[in-house]
């Protein structure tokens, strides 16, 4: 069994991270009734002996004493992290695994990446090493951050580069929240494009997320829960947006519902690695199957179902609906429509009481309406995990390597160019030591190249299928 | 003689467990339909083959379990122990933590060399427990990373360490519509490597077994457990003891050797397919009666028409007239594909097996011309019924059964290779483009050989 370490950077990263840890505890509590520290728990938590006060030695077996998250919390201002440390999760975090500063990054990628990067490099490496040492077999780093700000974007991508240098064998999965069009941070296009270059070069897999999509999903759920249809009451703790049953008792923050969706995404992504199933899908398999060319590692994700109705009997029609929903535009976590674009690869991770025949039936059913690239017509990777998420009898996570990410990148590029042409706000960046104009031009060219790669693939869509001639053998 | 089973990867371990289950439950069955003496003889032969009974109350399977991550092995070991009828040797397993990530190169070039010594030590230990070693039976899937990549490496090591032993690989052919995206690459690499070291490859296709579960076994929501149980039943029907000689006095003691001798006359032809008749849910068995002539007729047509199971057989396919080199064709509406065989083996179990007429299988027109039909067909029998089937016939065939699936897999893999997709994942671990090309070449050769039968 392998372990993963979560590195949460910046305000967004830490808020999402916080929700993740809360829901992870809830999920394990649901499954692990005996309170024994098992391998599933050890993938994200350490079991620490705190009886003698403070940080004791790790306990590898036996009863749970005190669970500590395998996490590193980084923020250049103290507000968010302090709040976490005063909240119900304070004991879950190791006080030595925090890096904070006071003044923040001022929504400036250069400040986050160049200034704080060099300032905190040694500290970060030391703390990462410590986290790695506590792991028996470290498989993956998860970075959670946003692209539009300064810390998450700048310092987050600096940490990404550090991870590649210091731990080249460990996978780097990045969950990035992309800014929406009406983002109130004016320089978010700069920050995002500068960060994209780093993601292009140093990440193994990126899961782009857009706030707009999360917001739409949250609204949809509200409508459903409040519509009060006769005979159908929604199980509260099954909402993909809910914190019910977790440590957090009051849900007042506006972003909490949205962040819970992201937390559930990460839980589902790692479920097969933690729990048993008839067809396991580990994290290294996700990278292997979904990344056909090194730079095309952006995966569009969707989670279904968004909620469960209280009646327990689930006809297979409901199950099939879950599969259909996973491919519909309004379940995607970015503003994209994978059905009308080109699939390079698709992964389906099913949890709960679903068997291989259900999986096959639905793949056969949905395949004709999807466009797959000519050299990967059967580009499906599937996984079956027996343990469902809390409140559900089954669930599905779909990860698609699809050209529908292209519009998001093109928009980003356009917004960047709008500012860049006028050299608006550039001086804030160029002031920072180590930052030059070439950083900008390299970043935009990296993004353009990426868009071009997707364009080339799109051009093959719908074209005539000419299979290459096979090898001829002398008889 | 005893067979040592090596279970590789998630699939290999899940199936291996079901196989030992099926064999054990058959042996404990009281519906043997034969004399007590016969039953005891059968049971002893089976135990010698698959189990070791030395210091334990419960028979211990002669098996080595290998996987690169721990979840499946720990499940397999505990499920076996819980049955109370048999178990695995507590020390006979090896696992790591990270898995192979569906990456053949990772399994073959990294895990293989790294863990060769430990794995081969476990195999050696099992081999030494046998009074006489009859050979090795490996179970693996082609689509993943451990079963396929590490499996290919271990097969090579077995061949090197035991050059005189028989080596049979049981290979699971993945579903056509992906379980794993890089399954065609992994399959091509696996098959080409196994062909070099193994004596024969016995193949089960997931698609075929799935259909059997759906149409013959009437299972509504088919799970991998259902699929594995059908596979285990079919394997059991081949490997349980039989009399290989007419009028033989005792059960054959060299199952793997006998299998190779009868079915693999030429090293270019190693692909074996398996068909069973009848196949039905357990609760229907009591209500069904069959006649041997009926079963044999169906089985023969399944062979000729390349039918996957006893439903939906195409009866229009007929063997070619001897003397003409063109297979007979019906009207041009449907081209008829006749399945030519290199060699066939029919295994009969149950009531009245001594009186069954198998002449139709000796028809020379079924076979390729370069073997004497006398040498191309064999049959094994026993009066002892298997797994509650009053009559059961199994066909192990070295024929064009697997030609189309093989051609499909190579075609798809080649298509993907031409675009160079995913190649960087393999070169990262030391498998280069030339290695791929070598594998493609080897398999095109196999395809060409089978096509020209």
Identify the burial level of A392 via C-beta atoms within 10 angstroms of its C-beta, where 0-12 means exposed, 13-18 middle and 19 or more buried: buried
Q: Which of A284, A406, A397 is nearest to B145 (CA)?
A: A284
Contacting residues of A for B97, CB less than 8 Å apart: 1-2, 136-137
Secondary structure in 3-state letters for A188-201: HHHHHHHHHHHHHH
The 10s digit of each residue's pLDDT in B422-442 is 999 999 999 999 999 999 999
Secondary structure in 3-state letters for A209-231: EEHHHHHHHHHHHHHHHHCCCCC
Whether B328 has a pLDDT exceeding 80, the answer reads no
- Bridge partner list, A65: none
Contacting residues of B for A136, CB less than 8 Å apart: 97
Supply the CATH number for residue A438's domain.
Answer: 1.10.287
**Which one has a higher pLDDT value, B178 or A117?**
A117
Is the same domain home to A291 and A256?
Answer: yes
Whether B105 maps to a domain, the answer reads yes
Whether B330 maps to a domain, the answer reads no
Q: Residue A475 is nearest to which of B72, B410, B448, comparing CB atoms? A: B448
Contact B223 A356 (CB under 8 A): yes
| Locus of tokens 């250049």 | A76
Q: Which domain holds residue B441?
A: 404-452
Whether B277 maps to a domain, the answer reads no
Helix boundaries (H) for A292-368 = 316-326, 356-366
Is the same domain home to A386 and A448?
Answer: no
Is the same domain home to A452 and A322?
Answer: no
Q: Residue A288 is nearest to which of B102, B220, B415, comparing CB atoms? A: B102
- Bridge partner list, B65: B7, B93
Is the same domain home to A191 and A296?
Answer: yes
Q: Which residues contact A471 (CB under 8 A, 6 or more apart)?
A: B414, B440, B441, B444
Is the same domain home to A49 and A102?
Answer: yes
- In degrees to the nearest 10, what's the CA dihedral of B365, B369, B372, B377? -50
Helix (H) or strand (E) holding B392: strand B391-399
Is the same domain home to B240 and B302?
Answer: no
How many CB atoms sit inside 10 A of residue B50's CB? 26
What is residue B331's predicted lDDT score, i.e. its pLDDT? 36
Count how many pairs of residues, chain A against chain B, have C-beta atoms within 8 Å. 145
Supply the CATH number for residue B102's domain.
Answer: 3.40.50.1440
What is residue B13's predicted lDDT score, i.e. its pLDDT? 96
CA A161 to CA A125: how far, in whole Å?
Answer: 11
**Which one has a higher pLDDT value, B177 or B304?**
B304
Identify each DSSP E strand in A234-305 by its residue range. Answer: 300-304
Contact B444 A376 (CB under 8 A): no
| Locus of tokens 């992906």 | B178
CA A317 to CA B120: how far, in whole Å?
Answer: 49
Supply the CATH number for residue A305's domain.
Answer: 3.40.50.1440
Is the same domain home to B242 and B299?
Answer: no
Contact A139 B421 (CB under 8 A): no
What is residue A234's predicted lDDT score, i.e. its pLDDT? 63
The 10s digit of each residue's pLDDT in B187-223 is 999 999 999 999 999 999 999 999 999 999 999 889 9
Q: Residue B103 is nearest to which of A2, A288, A316, comparing CB atoms? A: A288
**Which one has a higher pLDDT value, B326 or B360?**
B360
Helix (H) or strand (E) holding B251: none
Q: How confident is the model at residue B329 (pLDDT cuts 50, 70, 90)?
A: very low
Whether A472 maps to a domain, the answer reads no
How many CB atoms sit inside 10 A of residue B408's CB? 13
Whether A420 maps to a domain, the answer reads yes
Minimal-distance CA residue of chain B relative to A315:
B221
A461 touches chain B (CB under 8 A): no
What is residue A53's predicted lDDT score, i.e. its pLDDT? 56
Is the same domain home to A350 and A417?
Answer: no
Three-state SS at A352: strand
Antiparallel, parallel or unpaired: β B51-52 and B60-61: antiparallel
Whether A338 maps to a domain, the answer reads yes
Is the same domain home to B119 and B233?
Answer: yes
What is residue A88's predicted lDDT score, i.e. its pLDDT? 85
Q: Which of B240, B346, B255, B236 is nearest to B297 (CA)?
A: B346
Is the same domain home to B223 and B365?
Answer: no
Whether B329 maps to a domain, the answer reads no
| Locus of tokens 């357990």 | B282
Is the same domain home to B441 and B370?
Answer: no
The pTM for the full model equals 0.90
Is the same domain home to A233 and A244?
Answer: yes
Is the same domain home to B225 and B147?
Answer: yes
Contact A356 B70 (CB under 8 A): no
Minimal-distance CA residue of chain B relative to A460:
B419
Q: How many domains are contained in chain A?
A: 2
CA B20 to CA B204: how far, in whole Å?
Answer: 17
Whether A133 maps to a domain, the answer reads yes
The 10s digit of each residue's pLDDT in B30-48 is 767 788 888 888 888 999 9
Whether A107 maps to a domain, the answer reads yes
Query: pLDDT (tens digit, 0 to 9) for every residue of chain A, 475 residues total?
Result: 789 999 999 999 999 999 999 989 988 888 888 888 888 888 899 888 776 655 567 777 778 888 889 999 999 988 888 888 888 888 888 888 899 988 888 899 999 999 999 999 999 999 999 999 999 899 999 999 999 989 999 999 999 999 999 999 999 999 999 988 777 889 999 999 999 999 999 999 999 999 889 888 888 887 777 765 544 556 666 677 776 666 655 555 668 888 888 999 999 999 988 888 888 888 889 999 999 999 999 999 999 887 665 444 445 567 888 999 999 998 999 999 999 999 999 999 999 989 888 898 999 999 999 999 989 888 899 999 999 988 888 899 999 999 999 999 999 999 999 999 999 999 999 999 899 999 999 999 999 999 999 999 988 876 667 778 888 877 6
Mark which of B400, B415, B444 sits at the end of a domain: B400
Q: Which of A240, A245, A274, A208 is nearest to A43 (CA)?
A: A274
Q: Residue B421 is nearest to which of A279, A293, A356, comparing CB atoms? A: A293
Whether B366 maps to a domain, the answer reads yes
Identify the burial level of A31 via C-beta atoms within 10 angstroms of its C-beta, where 0-12 means exposed, 13-18 middle and 19 or more buried: middle
CA atoms within 13 A on the CB side of B269: 28
- The token duo for B125 is 């230990």
The 10s digit of each residue's pLDDT in B271-294 is 999 999 999 998 888 778 889 999
The 10s digit of each residue's pLDDT in B84-143 is 889 999 899 999 988 899 999 999 999 999 999 999 999 999 999 998 999 999 999 999
Contact B101 A287 (CB under 8 A): yes
CA B375 to CA B393: how far, in whole Å?
Answer: 20
For residue B109, whether the previous peptide bond is cis, meaning omega lies within 30 degrees of 0, is no
Is the same domain home to B140 and B192?
Answer: yes
- In degrees to the nearest 10, what's the CA dihedral of B287, B293, B297, B299? 60
CA B39 to CA B101: how far, in whole Å?
Answer: 46
Mind giving me the DSSP string for B335-359? ------EEEEEEEEEETTGGG---G
Contacting residues of B for A316, CB less than 8 Å apart: 221
Is the same domain home to A310 and A424?
Answer: no
Q: How far is B70 from chain A (nearest CA, A)?
A: 6
Contact B425 A291 (CB under 8 A): yes
Is the same domain home to A16 and A156?
Answer: yes
A456 touches chain B (CB under 8 A): no
Is the same domain home to A364 and A413?
Answer: no
A284 touches chain B (CB under 8 A): yes
Is the same domain home to A101 and A124?
Answer: yes
A379 touches chain B (CB under 8 A): yes
Whether B328 maps to a domain, the answer reads no
Is the same domain home to B245 and B183?
Answer: yes
Whether A468 maps to a domain, the answer reads no
Is the same domain home to B77 and B8?
Answer: yes
What is residue A316's predicted lDDT score, i.e. its pLDDT? 57
Is the same domain home to B157 and B89?
Answer: yes
Contact B221 A358 (CB under 8 A): yes
Contact B75 A276 (CB under 8 A): yes
Q: Residue B448 is nearest to which of A278, A288, A473, comparing CB atoms? A: A473
Residue B219's Cα: distance from chain center in Å?
Answer: 23
Supply the CATH number for residue B341's domain.
Answer: 3.30.1330.20
- Bridge partner list, B94: B66
Contacting residues of B for A472, CB less than 8 Å apart: 444
Residue B316, CA distances (Å) to A419, B208, B298 in order: 73, 21, 13
Q: Which residues contact A69 (CB under 8 A, 6 or more apart)?
A: A6, A21, A44, A45, A46, A92, A93, A94
Q: How confident is the model at residue B392 (pLDDT cuts 50, 70, 90)?
A: very high
What is residue A312's predicted lDDT score, i.e. its pLDDT? 45
Q: Which of A186, A412, A220 is nearest to A303 (CA)?
A: A220
Q: Read off φ and ψ for residue A138, nearest 5 degrees.
A: -80, 120
A473 touches chain B (CB under 8 A): yes
Q: How many domains are contained in chain B?
A: 3
Q: Read off φ and ψ for residue B200, nearest 5 degrees.
A: -160, 155
Q: Which domain holds residue A449?
A: 407-460
Q: How confident is the model at residue B330 (pLDDT cuts 50, 70, 90)?
A: very low
Helix boundaries (H) for B87-135 = 104-105, 112-129
CB A276 within 8 A of CB B71: yes
CB B173 within 8 A of CB B210: no
Whether A467 maps to a domain, the answer reads no
Whether B448 maps to a domain, the answer reads yes
What is residue B239's predicted lDDT score, i.e. its pLDDT? 93
Whether A242 maps to a domain, the answer reads yes
Is the same domain home to A222 and A274?
Answer: yes
Q: How confident is the model at residue B333 (pLDDT cuts 50, 70, 90)?
A: very low
Residue A235, CA distances (Å) to A27, A241, A242, A317 in order: 16, 12, 10, 19
Interface of A with B in 181-220 (CB under 8 A): none
- The token duo for B101 is 């990530």
Q: Which residues contact A287 (CB under 8 A, 6 or more apart)?
A: A171, A204, A205, A297, B101
Q: Which residues contact A254 (CB under 8 A, 6 or more apart)?
A: none
CB B393 within 8 A of CB B347: yes
Contact B69 A282 (CB under 8 A): yes
What are all long-range contacts of A44-51, with beta carbons under 8 Å and residues at least 24 apart? A44/A3, A44/A4, A44/A6, A44/A69, A44/A70, A44/A270, A44/A274, A45/A69, A45/A70, A46/A70, A46/A94, A46/A134, A48/A94
What is residue A245's predicted lDDT score, i.e. its pLDDT? 65
CB A338 within 8 A of CB A300: yes
Contact B418 A468 (CB under 8 A): yes
Dihedral of alpha carbons B185, B188, B192, B193, sign? positive
Minimal-distance CA residue of chain B relative to A475:
B448
Q: Which residues contact A324 (CB under 8 A, 6 or more apart)?
A: A366
Whether B327 maps to a domain, the answer reads no
Residue B95's Cα: distance from chain center in Å?
Answer: 24
A474 touches chain B (CB under 8 A): no
Contact B10 A374 (CB under 8 A): no
Q: How far is A2 from chain B (nearest CA, A)?
A: 6
CA A210 to CA B193: how far, in whole Å?
Answer: 46
Residue A461's Cα: distance from chain center in Å?
Answer: 28
How many CB atoms sit inside 10 A of residue A397's CB? 26
């Amino acid at each position: 069994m392998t372990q993963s370490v979560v590195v949460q950077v910046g305000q967004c990263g830490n808020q999402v991270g916080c929700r993740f840890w809360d829901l992870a505890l809830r999920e394990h509590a649901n499954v692990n009734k005996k309170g024994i520290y098992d391998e599933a728990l050890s993938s994200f938590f350490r079991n620490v002996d705190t009886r003698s006060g403070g940080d004791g030695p790790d306990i590898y077996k036996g009863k749970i004493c005190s669970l500590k998250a395998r996490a590193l919390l980084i923020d250049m201002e103290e507000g968010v992290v302090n709040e976490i440390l005063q909240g119900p999760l304070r004991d879950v975090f190791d006080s030595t695994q925090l890096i904070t500063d006071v003044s923040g990054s001022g929504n400036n990628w250069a400040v986050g990446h160049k200034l704080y990067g060099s300032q905190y490099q040694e500290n970060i490496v030391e703390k990462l090493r410590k986290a790695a040492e506590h792991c028996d077999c470290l498989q993956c780093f998860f970075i959670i951050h946003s692209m539009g700000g300064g810390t998450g974007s700048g310092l987050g991508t600096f940490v990404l580069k550090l991870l590649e240098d210091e731990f080249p064998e460990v996978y780097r999965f990045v969950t990035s929240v992309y800014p929406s069009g009406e983002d109130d941070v004016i320089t978010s296009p700069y920050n995002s494009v500068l960060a994209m270059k780093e993601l292009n070069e140093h990440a193994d897999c990126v899961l782009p997320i857009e706030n707009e999509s999360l917001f739409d999903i949250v609204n949809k759920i509200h409508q459903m829960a409040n519509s009060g249809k006769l005979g159908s009451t929604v199980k509260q703790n099954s909402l993909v947006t809910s914190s019910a049953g977790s440590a957090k008792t009051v849900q007042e923050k506006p972003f909490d519902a949205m962040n819970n969706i992201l937390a559930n995404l990460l839980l589902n992504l790692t479920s097969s690695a933690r729990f048993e199933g008839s067809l396991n899908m580990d994290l290294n398999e996700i990278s292997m199957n979904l990344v056909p060319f090194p730079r095309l590692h952006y995966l569009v994700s969707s989670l279904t179902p968004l909620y469960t109705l209280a009646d327990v009997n689930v006809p297979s029609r409901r199950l099939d609906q879950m599969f259909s929903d996973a491919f519909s535009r309004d379940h995607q976590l970015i503003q994209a429509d994978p059905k009308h674009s080109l699939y390079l690869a698709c992964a389906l991770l099913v949890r709960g009481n679903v068997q291989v025949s259900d999986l096959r039936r639905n793949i056969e059913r949905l395949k004709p309406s999807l466009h797959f690239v000519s050299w990967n017509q059967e580009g499906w990777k599937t996984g079956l995990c027996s343990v469902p998420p809390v409140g559900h009898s089954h669930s599905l996570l779909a990860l698609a390597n699809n050209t529908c990410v292209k519009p998001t990148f093109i928009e980003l590029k356009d917004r960047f160019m709008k500012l860049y042409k006028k050299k608006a706000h550039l001086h804030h960046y160029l002031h920072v030591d180590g930052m030059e104009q070439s950083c900008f031009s390299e970043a935009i060219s990296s993004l353009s190249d990426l868009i071009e790669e997707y364009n080339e693939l799109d051009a093959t869509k719908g074209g005539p299928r000419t299979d290459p001639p096979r090898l001829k053998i002398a008889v | 003689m005893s067979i040592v089973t090596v279970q590789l990867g998630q699939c290999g371990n899940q199936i291996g467990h079901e196989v030992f289950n099926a064999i054990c439950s058959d042996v404990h069955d009281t519906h043997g339909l034969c004399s007590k003496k016969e039953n005891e003889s059968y049971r002893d032969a089976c135990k010698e083959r698959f189990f070791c009974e030395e210091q334990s109350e419960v028979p211990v399977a002669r098996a080595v379990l290998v996987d690169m991550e721990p979840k499946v092995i720990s499940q397999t070991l505990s499920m076996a122990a819980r049955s109370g009828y048999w178990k695995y040797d507590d020390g006979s397993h090896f696992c790591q933590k990270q898995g192979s990530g569906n990456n053949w190169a990772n399994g073959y070039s990294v895990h293989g060399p790294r863990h060769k010594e430990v794995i081969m030590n476990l195999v050696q230990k099992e081999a030494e427990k046998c009074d006489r070693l009859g050979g090795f039976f490996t179970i693996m899937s082609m689509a993943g990373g451990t079963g396929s990549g590490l499996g290919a490496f271990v097969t090579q090591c077995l061949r090197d360490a035991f050059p005189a032993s028989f080596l049979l690989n049981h290979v699971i052919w993945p579903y056509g519509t992906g379980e794993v995206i890089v399954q065609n690459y992994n399959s091509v690499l696996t098959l080409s490597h196994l062909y070099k070291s193994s004596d024969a490859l016995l193949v089960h296709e997931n698609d075929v077994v799935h259909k059997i579960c759906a149409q013959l076994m009437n299972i509504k929501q088919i799970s991998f457990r259902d699929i594995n149980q059908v596979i285990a039943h079919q394997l059991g029907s081949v490997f349980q003891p039989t009399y290989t000689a007419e009028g033989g006095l005792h059960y054959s003691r060299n199952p793997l050797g006998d299998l190779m001798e009868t079915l693999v006359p030429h090293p270019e032809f190693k692909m074996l397919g398996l068909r069973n008749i009848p196949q039905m849910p357990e609760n229907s068995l009591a209500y069904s009666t069959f006649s041997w002539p009926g079963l044999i007729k169906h089985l023969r047509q399944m062979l000729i028409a390349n039918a996957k199971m006893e439903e939906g057989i195409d009866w229009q396919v007929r063997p070619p007239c001897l003397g003409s080199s063109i297979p007979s064709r019906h009207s041009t509406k449907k081209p008829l594909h006749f399945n030519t065989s290199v060699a066939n083996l029919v295994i009969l179990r149950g009531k009245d097996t001594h009186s069954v007429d198998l002449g139709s299988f000796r028809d020379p027109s079924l076979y390729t011309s370069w073997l004497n039909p006398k040498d191309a067909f064999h049959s094994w029998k026993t009066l002892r019924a298997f797994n509650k089937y009053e009559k059961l016939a199994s066909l192990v065939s070295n024929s064009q059964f697997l030609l189309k699936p093989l051609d499909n897999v190579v075609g798809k893999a080649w298509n993907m290779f031409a675009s160079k997709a995913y190649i960087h994942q393999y070169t990262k671990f030391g498998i280069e483009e030339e290695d791929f090309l070598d594998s493609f070449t080897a398999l095109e050769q196999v395809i060409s050989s089978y096509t020209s039968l």
